[in-house]
Structure 1
């Protein structure tokens, strides 16, 4: 899966209702927030991290207004050190660039070295998820519970943790 058309097809196949807000291209969560102001939902950000050897990957989905303490996360998940993956590695893994990263980029992949974590506070905060559907000129809104339905369809396990 690489584009918005495929995201729409996925949502239809899984019978997941959603809303799309189109807007100018945004390259940060702050820009996106301005474009979708007034719409309900948790404003999320997705970070893709790697271990020290860059041979195991971690997707972290959390509120966009929260800062991630990578040292605390590394300790919590039993990893020595974490770092953000490079733009090139992100493109190799998911076919995406920074600013449009979401779990939709995992469709059609089958990595056994990829872990997904959701922040419990984000899940508790709102019932609606917002993120870019592999296109930074759109924001998709859908039920938070459907995130798990999508990841189950992709075959990726996930964990809910306190960040």
Structure 2
């Protein structure tokens, strides 16, 4: 993948989902940068709301760990759960843009559409996946897209990624 790759837009993502026969609902809102910002919307959007950790190990293996917004994750131990070669740190914004096509504050499972060489390993927290509906940013933090959990798995697999579901939250 080259650094000159143009990330997909929200419209391209929604068209891709429609092409897979996946129906979603997208709500526009002011830009949200934190879980606290997102919780201000709580009355309008039901389902599980995501928090995304873009992580890397010392061998430059990248991981996207998607958990419920309220979940606590032990970053000192998570490498043992997700198959990292070492303790993990947060991936740099440049790697985030190169691999998932998003900026910090807009990290989302939908970014996998931009990871055409499948360099990022996705880990979905089992507690999050108990929700019938999962909510994530559609490549921009100015909207939230609601998708059925089974359809989220279909999307992940359609992008060439494995949907690994593990208990990673405490």
TM norm. shorter chain > 0.5 = yes
The corresponding residue for 1:34 is 40
The corresponding residue for 1:56 is 61
Identify which of 42, 62, 73 aligns with 1:68: 73
The count of corresponding residues between Structure 1 and Structure 2 is 161
Q: 1:15 to 1:44 in 2, by over 3 A?
A: same
Q: 1:40 to 1:112 in 2, by over 3 A?
A: closer
The equivalences for 1:1-163 within 5 A come to 1-53=7-59, 55-78=60-83, 79-124=85-130, 126-163=131-168
Q: 1:68 to 1:15 in 2, by over 3 A?
A: same
Structure 1: state its 5+ residue gaps: none
The corresponding residue for 2:4 is none
Measure the CA separation in 2 of the matches of 1:8 and 1:162.
Answer: 29
Structure 2: state its 5+ residue gaps: 1-6
Deviates more, 1:114-123 or 1:72-81: 72-81
1:31-72 Cα distance to aligned partner (Å, 9 max, x none): 12212424211011111100024x211110100111211222
More helix by share: 1
SS in 1 for 2:117: coil
Measure the CA separation in 2 of the matches of 1:143 and 1:14.
Answer: 13
Measure the CA separation in 2 of the matches of 1:131 and 1:156.
Answer: 17
SS in 2 for 1:70: coil
State the Cα distance separating 1:112 from its structure 2 match.
4.6
Contact 2:118 2:160 in 1 (8 A): no
Measure the CA separation in 2 of the matches of 1:121 and 1:108.
Answer: 26
